[in-house]
Amino acid sequence: MELQIKNLSKTYPNGVKALDNVSLTIPQGMFGLLGPNGAGKSTLMRTIATLQDPDAGSIHLDAIDALHDKMALRRVLGYLPQEFGVYPRVSAEDLLDHMAVVKGVVHRGERRELVQALLEQTNLYSVRKRSISTFSGGMKQRFGIAQALIGQPLLIIVDEPTAGLDPTERNRFYNLLSEIGENIIVILSTHIVDDVRELCRNMAIIDQGRVLFAGQPQAALNELKGRVWEKTIEKAELAAYQQQYQVISSKLLAGQPLIHVLGPDVASAGFRAVEPSLEDVFFSTIQRKAAPAAHV
């Protein structure tokens, strides 16, 4: 099973080109869609979920033509958007039961077993009688996954799921997504590099509506091996280093910038060689496409 996206384009009435000839092949398992805010990720997710139409292109989930047979795609789709509305005073158990009815599970006994299984799978059974308004951010996200799993979907889309979650809730969410992603396609759209590194066998980087990289995370890391260097500098030196080297990232460490640069051996200038991270891949890929001419 795989999802085939070919030559997908979308320009909004205000002239913003949200998708620019996007083509991706997404296999079974966890797939990370990585990009900065405003890169086009949510537009792509909403288009795959049949919530909006593209200007051009095609989407196929095996034999299902998602753009011309939207109901067939929706029957096998689970979708957790970045923000999803719930009835805050309704209990988790009752709301899942209602959603199961909406998705066609009409037999009461079957529905009761399904709701109980989903609550247990998402570790929410002990709080099933509580209203959604009392849930933490992580609990609400796990409830979102529970509703997305109704109907045994073949494709699940999760848009920016861990933003705002504390480390404990993020780990719970990671474990849950990993279990789900073993037998179906799960697309994880995020700007958080750690999400992709922890979870995904395959990934793509998107920016300004264009796919800049598609493949396995390890393959992307291998491309940078031996080419990433770091150095702690003074704040006043940052601009000069950015002029002289291809600085791909800078973060404060104990009040001083720690920079990563991409290029040949610069050990003589006081840099240390480091193993490339997926964050290095992300920043260098976006920077390279934005400004192809290297500094080094």
95 and 37 together in one domain: yes
Q: How many helices (H) and strands (E) does the chain have?
A: 10, 14
Q: Domain check: are 18 and 155 in the same one?
A: yes
User: Are 109 and 202 within one domain?
Assistant: yes
296 located within any domain: no
pLDDT tens string 171-204: 888 888 888 888 899 999 988 888 888 889 999 9
When comparing pLDDT for 90 and 31, which is higher? 31
CA dist., res. 171 & res. 150, Å (int): 23
- 236 falls within a domain: yes
108 and 203 together in one domain: yes
Last residue of some domain: 198, 215, 232? 215
Count CB atoms within 10 A of the CB of residue 179: 10
Regarding predicted confidence, which is higher, 166 or 66?
66
- Of 33-37, 49-53, 135-139, the least confident: 135-139
- Among 215, 249, 268, the domain boundary falls at 215
Q: What value does the mean pLDDT of the chain take?
A: 90
Higher per-residue confidence, 14 vs 295 = 14
Residues 122 and 256 in one domain: no
Is residue 295 one of the residues assigned to a domain? Answer: no
Is 210 within the bounds of a domain?
A: yes
In this predicted model, what pLDDT tens digit does every residue of 85-114 receive, in sequence order?
656 688 999 999 988 888 888 899 999 999
**pLDDT at 293 > cutoff 70:** no
Residues 6+ apart with CB under 8 A from 228: 248, 260, 261, 262, 273, 274, 275, 276, 280
Task: Point out the domain boundary residue: 215, 241, 267.
Answer: 215
Query: Would you state the pLDDT for residue 87?
Result: 66
Q: Is residue 110 part of a domain?
A: yes
Cβ-proximal residues to 237 (8 Å cutoff; 6+ apart), any chain: 257
Q: 135 and 280 share a domain?
A: no
Same domain assignment for residues 6 and 126: yes
Containing structural domain, residue 102: 2-215
- How many separate domains does the chain show? 2
Residue 296 pLDDT > 50: no
Residues 20 and 99 both lie in one domain = yes
User: What per-residue confidence (pLDDT) applies to 104?
Assistant: 80
The confidence score (pLDDT) of residue 175 equals 85
CA angle, 196 as apex, 84 and 166 as ends, to 5°? 60
Query: Do 162 and 270 have their domain in common?
Result: no
Do 143 and 6 reside in the same domain of the chain? Answer: yes
Amino acid at position 137, single letter: G
> Is the same domain home to 42 and 180?
yes
Instruction: Give the predicted TM-score (pTM) of the model.
Output: 0.84
In a domain, 43, yes or no: yes
Residue 134 resides in a domain = yes
Task: Give pLDDT, residue 110.
Answer: 92
What pLDDT score does 57 carry?
97
Domain membership of residue 16 (yes or no) is: yes
pLDDT band at 83 (very low <50, low <70, confident <90, very high): low
- Residue 79 bridge partners (DSSP): 157
Q: Residues 240-286: pLDDT tens digits?
A: 999 999 999 999 988 899 999 999 999 999 999 999 999 999 999 99
Phi, psi of 141, deg, nearest 5: -65, -40
End-to-end CA distance of the chain: 43
Determine the pLDDT at residue 145: 87
User: Each residue of 57-74: pLDDT tens digit?
Assistant: 999 999 999 999 999 999
Assess whether 208 and 232 both reside in one domain: no
Instruction: For residue 142, give the CATH number of its domain.
Output: 3.40.50.300
Give the model's pLDDT for residue 295. 39
Give me the helices (H) in 122-253, please.
137-148, 167-180, 193-199, 217-224, 238-244
